[in-house]
Amino acid sequence: MMEKVLITGGAGFIGSHLAEKLLGEGKEVFILDNFSTGSRVNLEPIKDHPRLHVKPGDISDKPLLVELAGKADMIFHMAAAVGVKLIVEKPVNTIETNIIGTENVLKAASETGNKKLVLASTSEVYGKGTEKKFHEEDDLIFGSTTHSRWSYGCSKAIDEFLALAYHRSQGLPVIIVRLFNTVGPRQVGDYGMVVPRFVQQAINGDPICVYGDGKQVRCFTHVNDVVNALCLLADNEECVGQIFNVGNDDPVTIKKLAEKVRKIVNPNATIKHISYQKAYGAGFEDIRVRRPDISKLLKAIEYTPKAGLNDIIQDVKDHLLSDLTP
Ligand SMILES: NC(=O)c1ccc[n+]([C@@H]2O[C@H](COP(=O)([O-])OP(=O)(O)OC[C@H]3O[C@@H](n4cnc5c(N)ncnc54)[C@H](O)[C@@H]3O)[C@@H](O)[C@H]2O)c1
């Protein structure tokens, strides 16, 4: 991989783990973050590293982006408005950050010498598709624009179109990664992320609140496995111009997840069901099954997820009980 790397959103959950890994590999790392959902605390383990440069700022700041992209050999674009709850509460911010912000990053990468760019997209782009496993070439099926939760997936789909357009028209070397539910230390439950929310509820002795019937299916991947996959993809020239699902093909229902959290974190905790309407407001639609087809990823890189769901829950618990939370 290249030697100097810019991570937008590098103070966030995934970005901070990525920064740690890249520094460990001897890279020089530049972080641009507005600390909206990210935190200085996430950078605590690396804050004094001589090869780390943290620039507080926003991806709406085009001159700053050009300055930082100019210093880097490649870019991981992780900054985004993330999480279903945040998206429902701040729809304008989601659309602007994810579309205009990403265009600014792509432009800066292009203007500073066509820097390689890994774009963090999401499984949410599959919308409410009903495939048993989502494949990169599947149709994207969104709900009505009157339901703001689709603005997240839709905005990321536009990002993908834009990135591929820059690749085709200007030769920008982009790699698009559709991340499925990524979990681990430093993820916060405030924005609707289910694993840290369940673990925190169990630690507090509160009921573990399952939204809906709990039969919805997800696949969870440890952030360390995701970050490894991102670095391997970035290193493989054949991945340029392509889209990859990144995740774990190990399905679990949300009800089963709640039971596992109870067992590992607090056997006395109760499990309570509440409606989506109560959690997210009227008209909220969830996706029943979200599971990746990772055959393309497995062909491209040597990828074997190391952590299972029990390890993930344990790591999240240890983190929430440490003093390294914002
Ligand atoms: N965590 C997951 O399960 C998951 C799943 C799919 C996709 N993703 C994608 O991965 C990326 C990272 O997500 P995460 O889970 O680490 O979330 P996160 O919220 O922890 O990270 C996002 C970071 O971007 C920063 N940011 C937001 N808006 C910004 C702006 N305008 N300018 C500069 N910085 C800004 C935030 O402060 C934060 O540090 C996002 O693009 C997200 O869409 C994450």
166 part of a folded domain: yes
Give tens-digit pLDDT for 227-255.
999 999 999 999 999 999 999 999 999 99
Does residue 296 lie within any of the structural domains?
A: yes
Span 25-38, average pLDDT:
96
Our mutation pick for probing the ligand 1 site, out of 39, 43, 60, 78, counting the most ligand atoms within 8 A of Cβ, is 78
Q: Is 62 in the pocket of ligand 1 (CB under 6 A)?
A: no
Q: What is the pLDDT of residues 46-68, one digit of tens each?
A: 999 999 999 999 999 999 999 99
Q: Confirm if 198 and 225 have CB atoms less than 8 A apart.
A: no
Total H helices, total E strands in the chain:
12, 13
Q: What are phi and psi of 246, to 5 degrees?
A: -125, 120
pTM of the model: 0.95
**Number of C-beta neighbours around residue 182 at 10 A:** 26
Q: Does residue 75 sit within a domain?
A: yes
In a domain, 322, yes or no: no
- Tell me how far the alpha carbon of residue 12 lies from the centroid of ligand 1, in angstroms: 6
In a domain, 195, yes or no: no
Q: Provide the 3-class DSSP secondary structure of residue 56.
A: strand
CATH number at residue 50: 3.40.50.720
Q: Which domain holds residue 108?
A: 4-184+220-248+288-305
Enter the tokens of residue 18.
């990525």
Does residue 161 fall inside a structural domain?
yes
Give domain status of residue 49, yes or no: yes
* 233 Cα–ligand 1 center, Å: 19
In the chain, the number of structural domains is: 1
